[in-house]
Structure 1
């Protein structure tokens, strides 16, 4: 069996030339840079492991960060400036399912604490923090370290139109595999390496770098619209349109680009409110608060 990397790569290239095989390469940490290149911007990719799904009751147990440089003009990832992986003792035993999922156990966490100073240093000067499902990660991150509330956020799950680019799934592992890579998931910094790997690649249909597409979508202003008092028999119509149900406030809501608000209100008038549009509450926001709890799911 060949053991030399060059020989193995030659075999991989031969396999790739055949329509009967696909080759997946292990995701490696991005190339490390000694300094920020002239004119480059800084991004931070973040991943968390937690004791559960409820940001009000559960705690962060692992934080991974990758600070990277990118070209503002075309979204090219230029390399990694720094990375960090830290564990934190939640002060209570881990649920068994979390240990099974992550491989982290109580003994690994005992007495551990995330280094706040290191985290703040990685965030310094960053133009954006990115997570795969920022709607989950941002509330946990802000609860643990308020500095995360003062930066723009983007989501590599929602801010790239993966399905329009031909991907069947938007899960991180599935996207990386469809892009020719693989990694061991559910440890925070390894997930960050995988996220940066994914954003560095050109999208298969548009040819645009995934990071450029993400930035363009993240920079938009959105409006959250609540369809207050919508008739019960329009619920399937609203759901098909992309509205989500808030069971506590008993209201359907949806996010639309700010420049599409008039079109959305016209649709609600004609399809939901029988031609007479009531005064509907709505809230405009951008990447400074997107995916945070400051953009409420119920009207105030």
Structure 2
């Protein structure tokens, strides 16, 4: 196992909504788990090539337990089915992380928007905003009320939470939430791609923070070959057209952490020492892409002929 990987015990499981399974994980010997902040996720290493990312949705102050929630996706690639069907109290699972590319930044006001299982990273954010005395509201949509997770926990926040099941109210009405945002308001959104696209289209620049479950289509420059220098070993690799930097690095025998290989989880984020990345991920902010200090080597390439990476 890598230094940020550990084997945890499933302490309990319960359904948070129709088709949504919540798992509580702890260290087998009761040791404290690594600290985390709202927005963080972990990777479950499920075997048979299955690795999936799930947001931590419990209490960051609880160092003894991590909670995740997993939506069963019948049309998925098998990860959610394995969690639902094979993990129960007493079972052990390899876990990597936590990592956070969706951190809650300080602000006087927040607008939170969740679609379906996208409520999970927002739950600890609501508690943090509440503890900080910030003004906030949550608009939470789902296909049906029965399929919307953690609505019981959300009830304690009263009318600051608006539940909008699609079969009762139709598509989310974003206008009242996003139009005429007061200065200093930050918007945090997580959910399916169409919701994120709609929010992104009408949200003021600089106000929006979102997390995607699926990669966006980001096309950069040409897909030609280029050189990558691994600074720690001094090796120079040729990344051929159609081959990712990640695959070229791994083929050279260099160990590097990765998980989704789609540019959505951030596991393979690598420091760039020289050169200009051609960013094609769904994780970094526009400011981070402009800075060019890091890149996700599973999908991003090079704007030029040479990159030097901290590997």
Higher alpha-carbon Rg:
1
TM-score of the aligned structures, taking structure 2 as reference length: 0.29
TM-score of the aligned structures, taking structure 1 as reference length: 0.29
- Structure holding more strand per residue: 2
- Structure holding more helix per residue: 1
